[in-house]
Structure 1
Amino acid sequence: MKKINLIAAAVNTVLVTGAIGASSAFAQSTADAKPVERIQVTGSKIKRFNLTSPTPVTVISGVEMENQGITNVNDLLAEMPQATVGLSPETTTNTIYASGLNTTDLRGLGSERTLVLVNGRRFVPGSVGDTAVDLNNIPTTMIERIEIATGGAAAVYGADAVAGVVNIITKKSMDGIELDVSTVRPEQSGGEQNNFSITGGMEGDKLSFIASFNYTENKSYGKLSRDFYRNPVNSFANPANTSGDDGIPSRVVLGQPTGLAYYSEGGDFFTKDAFADNGYDNHHYTFDANGNLKPFDYGLGRIPNPGVGRDATGYFQDGQNQGDGVFGHGYKEYFQTPLDRMIASAYGTYELNDDHALTFDFTYSKTDATTESSPAFFRHTIRRDNAFIKSDMAKVMDDNGLTSVTLRQANENLWGDRAYNQEREVFRTSIGAEGILSDDWGYSAYAQFGRIEQDTLWTGEVLTQNLANSIDAVEYQGNVVCAKRNADGEVIGAISGCTPFNTMGATSATQAQLDYIATDATRFAQHDQAVFAVTLDGALFELPAGYVAAAFTAEHRRESATITPSENMQKGLIFGNSSLPMDGEIDVNELSAEISIPLLEETFLTTDLTLETAFRYMDYSVTGEDNAWKLALNWGVTDELRIRLNRSKSVRAPNLGDLFTPNSKTFSSGRADVCRADSIAESGSKYKDNVIKNCQAAGLPEGWMPSDEWLSGGSLPGYIQGNQNLENETSNDYTIGLIYTPEFVEGLDITLDYWSFEVEGAIEYFGRNSVELCYESSSLDNPFCSNVVRNKETGEIENFFTRPINAAVINKKGVDVESAYRTELFSGDLALKLTATYLIDDNSNSTGRAEDFRTDVGEIASPRWKGRFNAVYSHDDSAYVLTMNYRHATVNDNDWTIEDNNYNDIPSYTTFDFMYKTYLMDELQLRVGVNNIFDREPPRNPFTYDDGEFFDVKGRRLSLGAKYTF
């Protein structure tokens, strides 16, 4: 069986499609290129003699990642105009189960709608119950190239490829050993990165293989480590604002550090309304280190403000000089989650004979990420009969006629900060066979198994009821005990096993108190993925314009997930952490056919014209039968101009989490029950008649009012829960593209592609808002009413469910521009590449109602233009690489009016990176680079000045690397 030179394939794909991916290796790769037989390109399973892709494909070589000093695939994908960040260490600093994940998001349609493949095969999800792949598990030293096929690809690869496919092609063999070390050192402290890898292999007559070990350490850094964050851009209520229609912004910028005047370390309380005018300072008390009462110290004082709530009285003048307050500007906040990752991987091929070969691959990955947080903060009820109340506090309470006070406390010295540690282990392996059946037909088959084990540990947690018991300490029969009270609040005994605790002024706790109060929580989760697939591809018959090529695939996949929380979480004993076990499974059987039909060849205005078709039948064990299809034309108009048109239907199946998430407790406050008589009377909604009709149809009489007044401002209990009645999402996709390679400018390629996505029945989570959506609909027969539970006797809402529902519609349209130019310059080679995306439309509707329609194009997450320019000059054994990334100016909110604020506009944002690499000898390569050369900060705006999702918060940094081959 003749070997296919994949490097040559990658280079030629770049030449034909105008895709990004040329590098300093350009000249060497083209010189070493060998004859290519049939090549499979991303977006199709048909191996082809030519490399013209039927769908837009962008190619990024592994060398380009080296040129950027990048050791994580997602760091590069996040800079591509077609993609954005799904999750990253910069966006998961306050996320529990997703801490440290790195996922990509094509077109901004969501990571769950981007299918990531490795060598054309699915990879185990990065998080239990999800489908998005954690790119932390892909070793960059093994990457040959990355192919990004935007546009619906579900007909070829199956569900979830709505936005497109990221296909990571790994190296298949190597002859020798390669050591690589690198480090990234930011100019400001924190965020350092260290990398080490060893890769080796051999190329024999029968056996060829490659194996690698990669280790990366990403250190965290606090927000206060960056100078731009220490000089913030905050906003507050505008004293000049008089009404909602006076043309004066309600909020204005105030550029100074601030701190919240809430929850002092030793506890604090008020003897009157915290937000009352006059005398506020004189009635706010806290404790000194000895537990004695003292007036609360505001440092430089509070910000005078006409606002309400925290705006009115809750902020210190200076977050760094805040007196007795705890939450200063940036207190316990981080820009990046610390992440350690280790990956061992291997790929091998054993040729049985000239026509058949066996393949195997293996990946083991372990990542460890810790999300740090502030200490747990509480509101304690301190009764007048508390045994630890001193005389000074007793006098204050008696003088004010108080039988109890609410003590607020956040003490990191009692049981430490809260931290969420996430340890993930991924194991994936496959064995396969590929070969030639005849002169016209070949095959490939594989069996694959993957598993992720995800252990979560919460530290610094508190058993809320035990804490309440220990703080309610009284003197009983000559001893200080935890009070056991009757329904009237009278002490009738002591709680057995409880250790009393004096929290007033406390800065530490005894071991006995910690044993009773403090706790850790754990959650073990596991996700298994098994895939079996076989593909036959070849030529069916010959037409005048050429052979009709086809590929037929049969695939079976099983996904299963289990989650086992610790007992204290299952019983809801820890505040804010309640979870039940989960056990879910999905089976899917798929059959697909892809056919390429040559229609014309060498006729007027046609060098070749090919019809590309694909159809996939899917049978899911939960959502039932579905299908995806594609129709495309690949038209070579002249040797210089090619046109491609694509129309396809893609699907996204709900993941295990969407379907099987068990009940977990939540609370929500918000609008009153729309069925209340006073709500109906005051309603100005155009759906008022529907509300009246539906409320009566639900059995509520005219004039109904609830007896339970939780809806007047209290919290309504609810449950987060999966929904096994979900259906697959459907997307209608369109692509029209031009590929131009002018003969009069040698080395220039230009690609222009218009694309459009129309996603219907998109899965959206609805919770408390289901109440109004249910009764404002035309009838009670709607998907929202099942999320609302009313008492059959009283009619009052008892609880609600936050469940996913197929209710949203998403529309996106845009144009991609890609160009590559290569030429000889002086005694070297120059390669220029430009990739840009112009966003035409980005709108969505989560409910189907006209007023819920949103246009997001031009907002922060959806700029009109995104672009990336790359220039590589290679000379002898050296290369100079300059990269520019650009985001167009945006606004924060398209619905903004002058009444909102005076800071809606977000300026454009551009960063530059540089890398120099050279060979000191044939075996030793050195690299030195600077990222964010001009130390560009995020835009100085309250919405963006600390935004690490779309802007660089790490700052200028030096990149150093060395590679030795032997």
Structure 2
Amino acid sequence: MLKKLNLLTAGIHAALLAGTAASSVAVANTNTEEQKVERIQVTGSKIKRFNLTSPTPVTVIGGVELENQGITNVNDLLEEMPQATVGLSPETTTNYIYASGLNTTDLRGLGSERTLVLVNGRRFVPGSVGDTAVDLNNIPTSMIERIEIATGGAAAVYGADAVAGVVNIITKKSMDGIEVDFSTVRPEQSGGESNYFSITGGMEEDKLSFIASLNYTKNESYTKLSRDFFANPVNSYGNPENTGGEDGIPGRVILGKPTALAYYSEGGDFFSKNAFSTDGYLNHHYTFDENGNLRAFDNGLGMLPNPGVGRDANRYFTDANNMGDGIFSDGYKSYFQTPLERVIASAYGTYQLDDEHALTFDFTYSNTDATTESSPAFFRHTIRRDNAFIKDDMAKLMDDNELTSVTLRQANEHLWGDRMYNQEREVFRTSFGAEGFLTDDWGYSTYVQYGRIEQDTLWTGEVLTQNLANAIDAVEYNGQIVCADRDAKGNVVGAIEGCTPFNPMGATSATAAQQDYIATTATRFAKHDQVVFALTVDGALYELPAGYVAAAFTAEHRRESATTTPSENMEKGLIFGNSSLPMNGEIEVDELSAEISIPLLEDAFLATDLTFETAFRYMDYSVTGSDTAWKLALNWGVTEELRVRLNRSKSVRAPNLGDLFTPNSKTFSSGRADVCRADSIESSGSKYKANVIQNCQADGLAEGWMPTDEWLGGGSLPGYIQGNQNLENEVSNDYTVGVIYTPEFIDGLDFTVDYWSFEVDGAIEYFGRDSVELCYESSSLDNPFCGNFERDEKTGNITHFYTRPINAAQITKKGMDFESAYRTDVFNGSLSVKLTATYLIDDNQNSTGREEDFRNYVGETASPRWKGRLSTVYAQDDSSYVLTVNYRHATVEDNDWTAEDNNYNDIPSYTTFDFMYKTYLMDELQLRVGVNNLLDREPPRNPFAYDEGEFFDVKGRRLSIGAKYTF
């Protein structure tokens, strides 16, 4: 660090004590070296400043707060902040194929893709190939000095994606000595253990300062069945007491269910007649024993009986998920937390060339290994009457019922193994920079940065679907059991070469030959490269009566590219439920920005100071073209106690590489009737009926048209998921009005309140089969939805569809932030209390832009009215006691539900308490003992909330023990 900036540490310390971001104008006194004014830079502006106020709301989290919570991943703390919601985490990625174990943050609930995460004010390589969101697993906890959260659009200062705001993680720049840290977390219930170790060291010499760190974390998994509250869950059932209409009786009710078993069984099951035949419930349901003998399927509880409210005791709830011979639902065995192991090596160095200039070096290497899971491979096999493995009893059953085939449902986990997804991610990032002074009034900072993430994904427990179908279609041919080779009419004409026949009926295992033919693994290698070059100069332009006009000018070039290479069986779509083509995409962006701070008044009536700020940024993207972002702000010190700040800005979010370049990946539609068929139009009561008639005819479908091959259910229509290179940038307009009050009559107290509003237009949303209706219901065919499906030129039948991203959605969010801090001395110690809360006024989202698709989500589970966090720290001598309270207001599951719909819409408020005790056993040794979720608060007992780990604590009470030794 330059000697001229030695007071930086003191300035930052003052900012942390004030609980606000440091911001200001820098002016250098040219008389002597010692008189030059020190300037500091924090999130929200690239102008280095002198005073500690900012027009942009900024929350500062010191690195010690991570320690106070026993937290080893920064996202665990960020997700507790009221301004943020959970993006991705090990609790929310248990079924994600390409994102297992990711940790991302989401300011204002606008999406992780609209939150820009910086490290030391610079972009960081994304956490997943083709994305922009940063994986916070790659940030070494031991290197964090503080975190600055600037809420409000900041694209004018930092570029695209800073729509909801910026999370700037400031790392330590130097250290003289070595620090070793270890911690472990042990839940009261089994599973979910975590171990953390770090060693950090550095040196500070005359010209060279250096710090390096090695971090290791291992988080064990735990399943849903490992938690008491999930072992006896609740579920939603149709209410037999409901008479329909507005009878005051809920249509569905909540009921505990000790075991939830799926229809699918390991031995396979089928129906010889309709499952709900009039001659007895499920009386025609069959399965096989381990020897392949036919027997009746044990339906277990079947439909659960009415709990008894004075009506017919034989009435049943309309549910059949409790099948006695069924396997456990995969949801019950699945992870509550993805197992994750990570290693991070990082370093930062500064070499001071002289008093005016310094060189900087930054390096991060991270390796993360995470495993997630999916449901077992499950199939509906067609068993023909000529199958060689059919025994006499089943043959008689089929003949008696005149069946030429049956559909055998089967979960194949015991045959081919769990479908598991293992992903290893390697991140490499390094930057070289220079900083210093051009003159006494002007400074500069420049750097070049390269980052790469590589993802190796391995799928196990996969099945080659056609091979399995071939093996099951076994017949006797020339005196041998072979895999049938059939002609177009279904006649056996030979045997499929290399195929090993397989009998699924009652199968408990598969031979090695069958495994070799049917079971498989799949892989995908992906990489994402990021190159950034940036130059910033900042300083004082000229002097006004109220102070100096300060400015910062930035030029930045960034290139991002991504490629994926799937294995051959994935590329050809040969495996169960998974296919992907290679991706190859690249974007480049050139940016120029200017930021100016103009002091208007100083020491005037009702204006201790008044400063106007503005910023403008020009961006030129290689795919989406040019765009601009801007900011207008006012920082008004009314009195020494009262300050008002206003901020108005336009920000943009650019489509990421995945949005633009995702290659065709196979998918299927669950089907629906074609909106253009004559009887659909005739029976339609839609207000868009006239549009549909006009557009269908304009598309070449004559009046009275009927399809020859109807698009109806069963997953019959093939489609593709793919990117869209015609996307445009999203545009967000936001403003903030805030007040900071620091009363002189209460020493140590400050209070901040900010009103904020975001309006995002052209938000990117993915549309698939629903594009058909949206296309024809529009005013004309000139709309983006019409490009998401294709028709046969001769018949007019829909042949396939595309699921593509489109700039169609609108998002409006409004709310208020409250923050208060109080510090005082008490009982020979110091007491610090900090309260942070957010009140949500509006959360309006519209996926299509049409009036009827508007929804306000305020008050639902993901958008509670109130969220709050209270942190209390009492320190005395060498010890401190930390109590943290997290609160979320009562919500409902769905704002549109009424008492007529169900009796479980209300979700109560939720509060958890965390406690930590820290003490120094000696000057060099610190000991930490804490308990998270002190009262062991379980999630609400609600069928749609009790397993939502992103909103409620599903891990339970847990002990945290840690120690830190410095030498």
Shorter-chain TM-score tier:
over 0.9
Judge conservation of contact 2:445–2:535 (CA < 8 Å) in 1.
yes
Match of 1:56 in 2: 57
Of stretches 843-852 and 158-167 in structure 1, the one that deviates more from structure 2 is 843-852
Which of 299, 315, 323 is 2:321 aligned to? 315
Q: How does 1:429-508 map to 2 (within 5 A)?
A: 429-508=430-509
Judge conservation of contact 1:259–1:329 (CA < 8 Å) in 2.
no
Match of 1:30 in 2: none
- 2:19 matches 1:9: no
TM-superposition CA deviations, 1:182-201 (whole Å, max 9, x none): 00000100100000110000
Going from structure 1 to structure 2, the CA distance change for 1:385 and 1:122 (only over 3 Å counts) comes to same
- 2:339 matches 1:341: no
Please state whether the residue corresponding to 1:11 is helix, strand or coil: helix
Q: How does 1:357-396 map to 2 (within 5 A)?
A: 357-396=358-397
Question: Residues of 2 paired with 1:933 and 1:312: CA distance?
Answer: 40
Match of 1:31 in 2: none
Match of 1:512 in 2: 513
Of stretches 569-578 and 550-559 in structure 1, the one that deviates more from structure 2 is 569-578
TM-score w.r.t. length of structure 2: 0.96
Shift of 1:284: 1.5
Shift of 1:311: 7.5
Shift of 1:258: 3.6
Question: Residues of 1 paired with 2:269 and 2:237: CA distance?
Answer: 25
Question: Residues of 1 paired with 2:660 and 2:900: CA distance?
Answer: 42
What amino acid is aligned across from residue 447 of structure 1 in structure 2?
A: V
Question: Residues of 2 paired with 1:329 and 1:224: CA distance?
Answer: 11
Shift of 1:813: 0.7
Q: How does 1:718-729 map to 2 (within 5 A)?
A: 718-729=719-730
Of stretches 246-255 and 212-221 in structure 1, the one that deviates more from structure 2 is 246-255
Match of 1:162 in 2: 163
Question: Residues of 2 paired with 1:678 and 1:102: CA distance?
Answer: 50
Shift of 1:613: 0.8
- 2:93 matches 1:92: yes
Going from structure 1 to structure 2, the CA distance change for 1:583 and 1:421 (only over 3 Å counts) comes to same
Q: What is the number of equivalent residue pairs in this alignment? A: 945
Judge conservation of contact 2:276–2:282 (CA < 8 Å) in 1.
no
Match of 1:197 in 2: 198
Question: Residues of 1 paired with 2:480 and 2:351: CA distance?
Answer: 79
Judge conservation of contact 2:21–2:54 (CA < 8 Å) in 1.
no
Judge conservation of contact 2:669–2:713 (CA < 8 Å) in 1.
no
Shift of 1:674: 1.1
What amino acid is aligned across from residue 442 of structure 1 in structure 2?
A: G
Question: Residues of 2 paired with 1:681 and 1:364: CA distance?
Answer: 63
Shift of 1:404: 1.3
Q: How does 1:538-557 map to 2 (within 5 A)?
A: 538-557=539-558
Shift of 1:894: 1.1
Match of 1:115 in 2: 116
TM-superposition CA deviations, 1:723-750 (whole Å, max 9, x none): 0000001111101111111110011111
Q: Identity of paired residues, percent?
A: 82
Match of 1:135 in 2: 136
Q: How does 1:531-610 map to 2 (within 5 A)?
A: 531-610=532-611
Q: How does 1:634-653 map to 2 (within 5 A)?
A: 634-653=635-654
Shift of 1:673: 1.2
Please state whether the residue corresponding to 1:129 is helix, strand or coil: coil
Question: Residues of 2 paired with 1:265 and 1:234: CA distance?
Answer: 24
Judge conservation of contact 1:560–1:656 (CA < 8 Å) in 2.
yes
Shift of 1:588: 0.1
TM-superposition CA deviations, 1:355-397 (whole Å, max 9, x none): 1110001000011111123321111111111111122222222
Q: Which runs of 5+ in 2 are unaligned?
A: 23-34, 307-311
Judge conservation of contact 2:21–2:148 (CA < 8 Å) in 1.
no
Match of 2:665 in 1: 664
Shift of 1:301: 4.5
Shift of 1:412: 2.5
Question: Residues of 1 paired with 2:769 and 2:509: CA distance?
Answer: 40
Going from structure 1 to structure 2, the CA distance change for 1:212 and 1:15 (only over 3 Å counts) comes to closer
- 2:795 matches 1:789: no
Match of 1:401 in 2: 402
What amino acid is aligned across from residue 320 of structure 2 in structure 1?
A: G
Question: Residues of 2 paired with 1:580 and 1:545: CA distance?
Answer: 62
Please state whether the residue corresponding to 1:773 is helix, strand or coil: helix
Shift of 1:917: 0.3
Judge conservation of contact 2:464–2:518 (CA < 8 Å) in 1.
yes
Going from structure 1 to structure 2, the CA distance change for 1:395 and 1:88 (only over 3 Å counts) comes to same
Shift of 1:876: 0.7
Going from structure 1 to structure 2, the CA distance change for 1:167 and 1:375 (only over 3 Å counts) comes to same
Q: How does 1:223-238 map to 2 (within 5 A)?
A: 223-238=224-239
What amino acid is aligned across from residue 887 of structure 1 in structure 2?
A: R
Shift of 1:665: 1.0
Match of 1:41 in 2: 42
Question: Residues of 2 paired with 1:899 and 1:19: CA distance?
Answer: 50
Match of 2:674 in 1: 673
TM-superposition CA deviations, 1:523-576 (whole Å, max 9, x none): 111000000001001111111111111110000000000011111111111121
Shift of 1:716: 2.2
Q: How does 1:852-931 map to 2 (within 5 A)?
A: 852-931=853-932
Please state whether the residue corresponding to 1:374 is helix, strand or coil: coil
Shift of 1:3: 3.4
Question: Residues of 1 paired with 2:375 and 2:766: CA distance?
Answer: 28
Please state whether the residue corresponding to 1:692 is helix, strand or coil: helix
What amino acid is aligned across from residue 511 of structure 1 in structure 2?
A: A
Going from structure 1 to structure 2, the CA distance change for 1:526 and 1:290 (only over 3 Å counts) comes to same
Shift of 1:714: 5.5
What amino acid is aligned across from residue 698 of structure 2 in structure 1?
A: A
Judge conservation of contact 1:8–1:36 (CA < 8 Å) in 2.
no
TM-score w.r.t. length of structure 1: 0.96
Q: How does 1:70-109 map to 2 (within 5 A)?
A: 70-109=71-110
Shift of 1:329: 8.1
Judge conservation of contact 1:929–1:958 (CA < 8 Å) in 2.
yes
Question: Residues of 2 paired with 1:500 and 1:622: CA distance?
Answer: 52
What amino acid is aligned across from residue 654 of structure 1 in structure 2?
A: P
Judge conservation of contact 1:18–1:739 (CA < 8 Å) in 2.
no
What amino acid is aligned across from residue 501 of structure 2 in structure 1?
A: P
Question: Residues of 1 paired with 2:783 and 2:148: CA distance?
Answer: 42
Question: Residues of 2 paired with 1:304 and 1:784: CA distance?
Answer: 47
Match of 1:148 in 2: 149
Shift of 1:858: 1.0
Of stretches 614-623 and 248-257 in structure 1, the one that deviates more from structure 2 is 248-257
Please state whether the residue corresponding to 2:211 is helix, strand or coil: strand
Question: Residues of 2 paired with 1:281 and 1:583: CA distance?
Answer: 52
Of stretches 347-356 and 10-19 in structure 1, the one that deviates more from structure 2 is 10-19
Match of 1:805 in 2: 806
Q: Which runs of 5+ in 1 are unaligned?
A: 21-33, 317-321
Shift of 1:6: 4.9
Match of 1:24 in 2: none
Q: How does 1:612-651 map to 2 (within 5 A)?
A: 612-651=613-652
Root-mean-square deviation over aligned CA pairs = 1.7
Question: Residues of 2 paired with 1:19 and 1:441: CA distance?
Answer: 22
Match of 1:941 in 2: 942
- 2:733 matches 1:732: yes
Shift of 1:668: 1.3
Match of 1:410 in 2: 411
Question: Residues of 2 paired with 1:506 and 1:256: CA distance?
Answer: 29
Judge conservation of contact 2:596–2:614 (CA < 8 Å) in 1.
yes
Please state whether the residue corresponding to 1:679 is helix, strand or coil: helix
Please state whether the residue corresponding to 2:875 is helix, strand or coil: strand
Match of 1:688 in 2: 689
Question: Residues of 1 paired with 2:411 and 2:329: CA distance?
Answer: 13
TM-superposition CA deviations, 1:872-908 (whole Å, max 9, x none): 0111111100000000111111111223211111111
Judge conservation of contact 1:39–1:51 (CA < 8 Å) in 2.
no
What amino acid is aligned across from residue 927 of structure 2 in structure 1?
A: L
Match of 1:420 in 2: 421
Judge conservation of contact 1:820–1:834 (CA < 8 Å) in 2.
yes
Judge conservation of contact 1:332–1:372 (CA < 8 Å) in 2.
no
Shift of 1:843: 0.3
Judge conservation of contact 2:20–2:60 (CA < 8 Å) in 1.
no
Q: How does 1:688-837 map to 2 (within 5 A)?
A: 688-711=689-712, 715-837=716-838
